[in-house]
Amino acid sequence: MDCSSWINTSLDLNINPHRVHEEVPKMEVESKLFSLGMTKFSVKEESTDELEEELKRVTAENKKLVEMLSVVCENYNTLRSHLMEYMKRNPEKELSPSSKKRKSESSNNNNSNLMGINNGNSESSSTDEEESCKKPREETIKAKISRVYVRTEASDTGLIVKDGYQWRKYGQKVTRDNPCPRAYFKCSFAPSCPVKKKVQRSVDDQSVLVATYEGEHNHPQPSRMEATSGSGRGMSQGSSVPCSASLISSAPTVVTLDLTNSKSSKGSKNTEPRKDSPKVPQNLVEQMATSLTTDPNFRAALVAAISGRLMHKN
């Protein structure tokens, strides 16, 4: 109940390095605030000036962040309109005839598929813009299909994709077009949750796992901490305090298909997520930020994390 406890609502979001202005690294501010809070009773009035100063700086920073956010949103809208234009010009790509399931699937594999791209985010941002930007067609109606590429350690031979949910493996099969076995998972909340996923190593790059999701979860993520695609077998849901760190801990390894890259780089091979990207392209960063900030699930998780923090401290 002491006021030192509720100040720090940090989500460990690693808001980060070469960011806006180096004058006030966020963590520094936080730690200052925190320590000020801790030493509150001993420091007294002389600290209020400092506090006000910090407050001003934080406010200014906040303002700048808001501006950045709006810029990012604008960029996103621009990109989206470009994409819509592109999809209009190439309608047959995404409207693959529903009769040829197998053909279309195998071709999707080689060709960073538009549907997969679109739905790649659907796992996390399934709501608002989908209705507007994608017209529901026959094959997408029955179950949302999204594809996610995940880079793994070269030594890692398992078919485990960490995505925050618990999965139960119900089958494995070697398919014709890929010597690596394909694993079939059901959400561990089945049958109440109809989601399934298939995980298979990429033919081209065996260190890349291709996870194909079918359907949407009708429940929140049980626990991000131990969601290791079936290996985390605890009945841990409900007990966990939302773990904000995992929001980023899983992020770097999961690579959803990138709309802009696949579209804009015309001559180059844009079919696979590339492993070695020593520096992350700026637009990719912005895109990721945008998808996070516009993602209702992320917001919900954020709210839960914050309230979890507050509850925990109290």
Beta carbon of residue 20, minimum distance to DNA (angstroms, whole number) = 43
C-beta of 168 vs 274, nearer to DNA:
168
C-beta of 222 vs 308, nearer to DNA:
222
- The secondary structure of residue 98, as a DSSP letter, is T
Beta carbon of residue 196, minimum distance to DNA (angstroms, whole number) = 6
Rounded CA separation 3/196 (Å): 46
**In terms of C-beta distances under 8 Å and separation of at least 24 residues, what long-range contacts does 215-219 make, across chains too?**
215/143, 215/144, 216/122, 216/126, 216/144, 217/165, 217/187, 217/189, 217/193, 218/192, 218/193, 218/194, 219/189, 219/192, 219/193
C-beta of 86 vs 184, nearer to DNA:
184
3-state secondary structure of 182: strand
Beta carbon of residue 116, minimum distance to DNA (angstroms, whole number) = 14
Beta carbon of residue 37, minimum distance to DNA (angstroms, whole number) = 41
Beta carbon of residue 99, minimum distance to DNA (angstroms, whole number) = 6
C-beta of 10 vs 240, nearer to DNA:
240
Rounded CA separation 7/30 (Å): 9
Q: What is the CB neighbour count within 10 angstroms for residue 175?
A: 13
Rounded CA separation 183/2 (Å): 51
Rounded CA separation 26/10 (Å): 10
Beta carbon of residue 87, minimum distance to DNA (angstroms, whole number) = 24
C-beta of 79 vs 208, nearer to DNA:
208
C-beta of 35 vs 98, nearer to DNA:
98
How many residues does this entry show for the chain? 314
Helix (H) or strand (E) holding 149: strand 145-151
Residues lying near DNA in the complex (CB under 7 A) are found at: 99-103, 105, 168-173, 175-177, 182-184, 188, 196, 198, 230-231, 233
Beta carbon of residue 235, minimum distance to DNA (angstroms, whole number) = 7
C-beta of 30 vs 105, nearer to DNA:
105
Give the CA angle between residues 44, 21, 70 to the nearest 5°. Answer: 105
